[in-house]
Amino acid sequence: MTEFKKQYSVPVTLAADFLLVQVAIDIKTETYNNVLNVYNTMLYRSNVTASHHINQFIAILYKIPDEHIVAQCLWAIVFWLPLDNSQRFNVAKLFYGINRLEACLKQLLEIKLLDKKPIHFTYLLIVAVSETFTFSRNQTWDQAKRVLDNLVDRDHKYGWFGQFWIDYFDKVDPLGRIRGDRNYNVNIESTMQRFLTFYRLQKAGRSIVQSASLIPKVVIEFPVKSRGSETIAYLLPGDVEIKSFTHATAIHFITTYYPRSYYKTWRLTRSEADKQHLFSLCYLAKFGGVFIADTRLLKPNAKLAGVWSINDSLLLAKGYMGIATNFIAAKPNHPLLCAMLHYVVLNLNNRSRLPSPYTTGSFSWAKTYCEYMQQVQELDIKADVSLFSGHKLSALFGQ
C-alpha cells in the first residue's frame, strides 16, 4: 500500500500549483471563505517550500478586497510557510496596508540582521511605529522603537523619514520652529493621531456619501515618464482619455487657468515632488479626473476601471505618514481638494523651510483632511470623500 501511494501521489510542486489555481478561481467567483479555507487547512498539508510559490501565495492576496480575510490568510502564511527576509517584509507590508500595525511590527522584528536591512525596511518600521495609537503601544511597539532609536541616531541616510522620526519623538521646544536638525512645533503626533482617527471613522462608513455624478474619465500623468500613454492605454477602459504633461505644458496650464501668483508659487517649488503635488492639485481642482504619479507602477492586472464605478466625489488613499500623493481621483471643485491646494500654495509662498512632505506632500494633505473633517462634523454635513486603504490602492495598481 505504501508503494502504491508513493507511485501515485501528487508531487508537492503540483499540489502548490493546484492550490494557487483553486485560490484564483475562488477570488474570481468572490468566494473568499473558500480562499481562507485553503490557507488555513491546505497550506501545511501541501508542504509548500518553493520560493516562487510562497511569493505567489502572498501576492495573490492583493486581489482580495475583504481585509479581515486577508489578515487571516497572512497569519496562516506566517504560521505554515518558511519565509525568507524578503517574503517576511512583503507580509509586513500587507499587514500595514490593511492597518494591522502590531502584526506589521512583529513581522519586521522577525527579520534577521536588522542592522543590514535595506532602507525600505527602516521606512516601513518608522511608519508603523509612528502611526500606532498611544493606547495601543505595547511591548512589541517598545521593542521596535528601541531598534529605531539605535538605527536613526547613528545613521543619517534615511532622508525625510529619519527627519520625521526625530521631529516626532523629540521634545517640543516652545521657543523655536527650526533649529539645527530638528523641526519644532509642527504638531506631528497630534495631527497623525487625528488623521488616523478620522481614517478609522471613514473605514467604518460614517463619513462617506454617494454622489450622483461620476469622476471625469481622464487620467493625468505628470511629469511624463519613459512609459508612454500608448503603453498604458490597454490598462484603461476604452473611453478614458490620457493627458500627459511636461514642465512646459504644466506651466502653460497654470498660467492659463490660475492667477499669475500661482506661477510665482510654481517658481518657489524646491523639488520635483513639489511641482508634482502643486500641478496635480491645480488640474484636478479645475477639471477633475484621475492623477497617477507614475504610470510605470501599473501592472497588467490593474483594476483602475473600478475607480469610475465609485460615485464619491473625491477618492484619496492612505499612504506613509498621511495621504498618498501618487493617486487622486476627483470631480472638479471639491472643497477638500481646493483646501489642499490653498494650503500647499500658502506654504510655498511663505518659503517654508520644512521638508516637502510637511509643506506640499502627504503630511500637509493629511493636516488639511483633518481640518476639513472637523468642519464637516461640526456643521453636521456629509463629507463626500472616500479614503482608500493602502491595500485597496495596491489592488487598483495591480500589485
How far apart are alpha carbons 375 and 10 in whole angstroms?
Answer: 62
Burial of 118 (0-12, 13-18, 19+ CB in 10 A): exposed
Q: Which pLDDT score is estimated for 207?
A: 40
Contacts of 189 (CB under 8 A, 6+ apart): 168
Q: Which pLDDT score is estimated for 393?
A: 79
How far apart are alpha carbons 293 and 324 in whole angstroms?
Answer: 10
**Residue spans of the chain under pLDDT 50:** 1, 4-10, 173-179, 206-212
- Indicate the pairing of strand 289-292 with strand 218-221: parallel
Q: Which pLDDT score is estimated for 114?
A: 56
Q: Which of 317, 368, 370 is nearest to 347 (CA)?
A: 368
What does each C-alpha distance from 283 to 244, 332, 334, 370, 391 come to in angstroms? Answer: 12, 9, 12, 22, 26
How far apart are alpha carbons 362 and 161 in whole angstroms?
Answer: 12
Q: Which pLDDT score is estimated for 209?
A: 39
Q: Which pLDDT score is estimated for 166?
A: 75
| pLDDT tens digits, one per residue of 198-217 | 888 776 554 433 444 578 88
- Using the CB atoms, write b or e for 78-94: b if 16+ within 10 Å: bebbebeeebbbbbbbb
What angle separates helix 67-80 from helix 51-59, to the nearest 10 degrees? 160
Q: Residue 72 is placed in which grid cell?
A: 487571516
Q: Which pLDDT score is estimated for 106?
A: 94
Against a cut of 0.75, is the pTM above it? yes
CB 128 within 8 A of CB 148: no
Q: Which pLDDT score is estimated for 211?
A: 42
